[in-house]
Structure 1
Amino acid sequence: MSDHVTGERFSAETRVAKSAWLADEDNPVISRLTQRMADLTGLDMEAAEMLQVANYGIGGQYEPHFDYKLNNDTDYTTRGGRIATILIYMSDVEVGGSTVFPDIGAALRPYKGSAVLWYNLLQNGEEDARTLHAACPVFVGNKWVANKWVRAHGQEFRRRCSLSQMD
């Protein structure tokens, strides 16, 4: 893997994939995609992270993890935690590659052109433990995904209201 800030490569046993980080300024397609995510979710993308594009080849996988806070997150105090994750599937996978949420029993099979959004933080700002997720190993084919992590800063009046105590 490579650090999206420094560009330095490092080994991560929890994730087997290749990834790249793309800024809105890199290409008009990236900018339009970010605007489309803002339009669909109602979230402010000003504090969002760059788009991550990842490829999981044969055996590619990601161990169970949470998205809401990174280790050594220098942006946490200025941009807040990752309030939401937007995951876009850019390819079909012949066998394997599902995104699973073990605590709630959900498995999302990758279908090209589909996307999923989940909130990593509850409306009170606390971390939502139900968002533990993993990328199952790819057995046949290639899995291409794009991720956009939206930070909490600027979302105070944008997140939809809910009557549920859990949200």
Structure 2
Amino acid sequence: DLSHPSLKLDPLKVEEIYKKPDVFMFHDFVTDKESAQVIEFAKPKLRRDEVESNKTFLVRTSDGFFCNQTFDVRKRIYKRIEAATGLTTDENPQESEPMQIINYLPMTYYTPHFDYLPEEEASETDPRKHKFNNRIATVMIYLNNVESGGNTVFPLLNVAIEAKKNAAVFWHNLWLNGTGIVGTLHGGCPVVFGEKWSDEYAFECLFVLFIVLNKWIHAYGQMFHRKCSTNRFE
């Protein structure tokens, strides 16, 4: 949905990476200044990623944290995500999670995985147990360039997306009926040289980093923004 008024004044540079399931790249989604501000904010807070039960994450070799603090650049990025996707980004269990900032050091990676949680894998206390509150969409923003490696790959779609500074990758994780889109299985290739910072909406060390920002949007709060289809198979 690219009908938001702000996009009339500042149009998105949209590249369709794959169709059905739709995967898009928004080029120059954030500015150099905004990327630098997020990185500087994140550096003191980065630590090795962890998974449930406080165990070290075995499938992602990176540092990261969820950002619950409010600062100006975060507000601007959220507003831009809403304009580009037509989805809401308020941080509550129904609408979306706080943005996650991850840093991948050289030779670090993330094995293929789904961002949505299959119902059979959810614990009874997990807020995503009900399929209508699962992760409906993902926005991943690359905050810097990496000299070699660091591609985001969708193995079932035979797609590899090169990490490009300031670009965002967007895809839906669920069909309109709430079931998971298997084709969204994705992973992060090893960073061979340089850093990768991502905002999926990144570690403090002496190496140059590759930093990514991730933003996961939940289904329940999007009932009026991404409506169900009359076709139960969609």
TM-score, normalising length: structure 2:
0.63
Partner of 1:136: 189
AA at the equivalent of 1:159: R
User: Whose strand proportion is higher, 1 or 2?
Assistant: 1
1:29, 1:150 → 2: CA distance? Answer: 19
Shift, 1:53, TM fit: 0.6
Cα distance 1:138–1:2, how it changes in 2: closer, same or farther (>3 A)?
closer
Cα distance 1:2–1:104, how it changes in 2: closer, same or farther (>3 A)?
closer
Aligned with 1:40: secondary structure? helix
TM-score, normalising length: structure 1:
0.87
Partner of 2:136: 83
Map residues 1-167 of structure 1 onto 2, 5 A cutoff.
1-2=48-49, 10-23=55-68, 25-46=69-90, 47-69=95-117, 71-72=122-123, 74-76=126-128, 80-145=133-198, 146-159=213-226
User: Whose helix proportion is higher, 1 or 2?
Assistant: 2
2:163, 2:233 → 1: CA distance? Answer: 27
Aligned with 2:84: secondary structure? helix
Cα distance 1:165–1:59, how it changes in 2: closer, same or farther (>3 A)?
farther
1:160, 1:62 → 2: CA distance? Answer: 32
User: What do the CA deviations read for 1:20-46 (whole angstroms, capped 9, x no partner)?
Assistant: 2112x4312112211211111110112
Shift, 1:88, TM fit: 0.3
Q: Which runs of 5+ in 2 are unaligned?
A: 1-47, 199-212
Cα distance 1:160–1:76, how it changes in 2: closer, same or farther (>3 A)?
closer
CA RMSD of aligned residues (A): 2.7
**Bigger mean CA deviation after superposition, 26-35 or 119-128:** 26-35
**Bigger mean CA deviation after superposition, 63-72 or 42-51:** 63-72
Q: Is the 8 A contact 1:22 1:30 kept in 2?
A: no
Shift, 1:156, TM fit: 1.8
% identical equivalent positions? 36
Q: Is the 8 A contact 2:122 2:129 kept in 1?
A: no
